[in-house]
Each structure stands twice: as structure tokens, then as C-alpha cells.
Amino acid sequence: MSCELILALDVPSRDAADAVLAEMRGTIAWVKIGLQMFTAYGPDYVRAVAGRGFSVFLDLKLHDIPSTVARSVESLNPLPIGMLTVHASGGREMLASAAKAARPDLMVLGVTVLTSLDGIALAETGIAGDAAAQVARLAKLAVSAGLRGLVCSPLEISLLRRQLPAHLNLVTPGIRPAGDAGADDQKRVMTPADARRAGANYIVVGRPILMAKDHAAAAAAILQDLRSVG
């Protein structure tokens, strides 16, 4: 199973993002634009990034009543994006509405449990059980509602591969290269090679690349780690 690297473009300004992207051309294909950059610069920046030859994963984690989410997806359809996120906790009707509203080549991904959450944090929100159980519950709901992909931590990849259809796409944040001790605010992490072995289709990496002195070299090292898996 192939596994692609997505750069999380979580930086404070467009100038900073453009500098990183200039280094990344020819190294990576996918870029994730999240709330920070989308809120600051809007749809035009999505078009600009796609215009530089990158495939765009728009990570907005939509979560609202079904009709509002459906209209939001319809509004985003004209943008040059290949992936879009919604919260799987929004429920079956919301998920089905998002999937139905998306153009055929736009993959709507259900976000299961954020990698910043663990069992203790979930209990504080009233969710009993560990993170893995909640991920599995939401993943099955999302698939039954018609979604073709999920966002999950790397620690749940193997579980989902055992329980869900093989064609399902798994997009995995919480990736840290071997020897990187800094998990930051992410509690459920794994190395790139281990995530691929577990069955990830895409890994999302931000800080280990963005905080490196040489962004392209850091990305190349992660890609080499992925290629090391037979």
C-alpha cells in the first residue's frame, strides 16, 4: 500500500508559507491548508497554492447542522481541492449531507478523535471509554454515511484496517520522525515508517518539517523513511 506525505502548512503568515512552498516544489505533492491560513487569506490562497502545482487538502473540520454543512461543501466545490474534512461527531445525517454535496472527485474525510485528545480529555467531555473505542465508533458511522476516508491518529490505523473496508483512505496526523522527542500538543503519535506499516494512505506532518533548518531536507528524510517500508 502506498503512503503519501502531506505538509501541514500551519504557519503565521502568507510570506512564511510561500517561503516554505518555494523549497518544497519537487519534493512533496500535497499541502494541507487549515483554519489558520484559510481564515487569514481565504479561497484565493487555496487557488494560489494549487496554482503552484500542489494538491490541496483543505482541513476545515466542518461541524454544523446538516443543511449548513451541505451548503458549505457546495460553496467549496469550485475550489481546486482534493480533500476536505468534516467532524464525524456531527452525526450520520450531517456526514451523509456532506458526502452527497461534494463533487465526485472531492474526498470528504471524517475526523474521528483529534490527536490532541486522550481518554482523560474525552472523559471530560462526557465520552466514556478510551480514544480507540470512540475512533472506531465514529469511523463506522462515517463509512455507513458514505464517506470514503477518515482522519485518525496513527495508533488507531491497525484497528480500523481490521474493522473497515480495505479501500477506505486513512489520513494520519500525529507523525513524528524517529528520534523526535517533541509531541507538542499531540498525544497519540507514531513514526512515518510505522504509520505506513500500519496501513496509512497519507501522513500529515507539520512542525518536524516547518521547524527544521532545511525544510526540503526534513521532508526528504520523511519520504525516505516511508520508502524504507517494503
60 secondary structure, DSSP code: E
Q: Could you tell me whether strands 149-151 and 202-205 are parallel, antiparallel, or unpaired per DSSP bridges?
A: unpaired
C-alpha closest to that of 163 among 130, 122, 188, 133: 133
Q: What is the pLDDT of residues 28-50, one digit of tens each?
A: 999 999 999 999 999 999 999 99
Beta carbons within 10 angstroms of residue 224's beta carbon = 11
Expressed as residue numbers, the domain containing 206 is 4-227
Quote the distance between the C-alpha of residue 225 and its chain's center: 19
- Residue 179 binned pLDDT confidence (cut-offs 50, 70, 90): low
Report pTM: 0.91
- Please determine, for residue 167, whether its predicted confidence score (pLDDT) is greater than 80: yes
Question: How many domains does the structure of the chain reveal?
Answer: 1
Which CATH number do you get for residue 145? 3.20.20.70
Taking the C-alpha atoms of residue 25 and residue 149, their distance in angstroms, rounded to an integer, is 26
Q: How far is CA 190 from CA 18, 46, 75, 135, in A?
A: 28, 29, 35, 17
Q: What is the pLDDT of residues 112-164, one digit of tens each?
A: 887 777 777 777 877 877 888 888 999 999 999 999 999 998 889 999 999 99
The mean per-residue pLDDT over the stretch 202-208 comes to 95
Helix (H, G, I), strand (E, B) or coil at 228: coil
Radius of gyration of the chain (CA): 17
Which residue numbers are catalytic? 61
Listed in sequence order, the residues at least 6 apart from 217 whose beta carbon sits closer than 8 Å to its beta carbon are: none
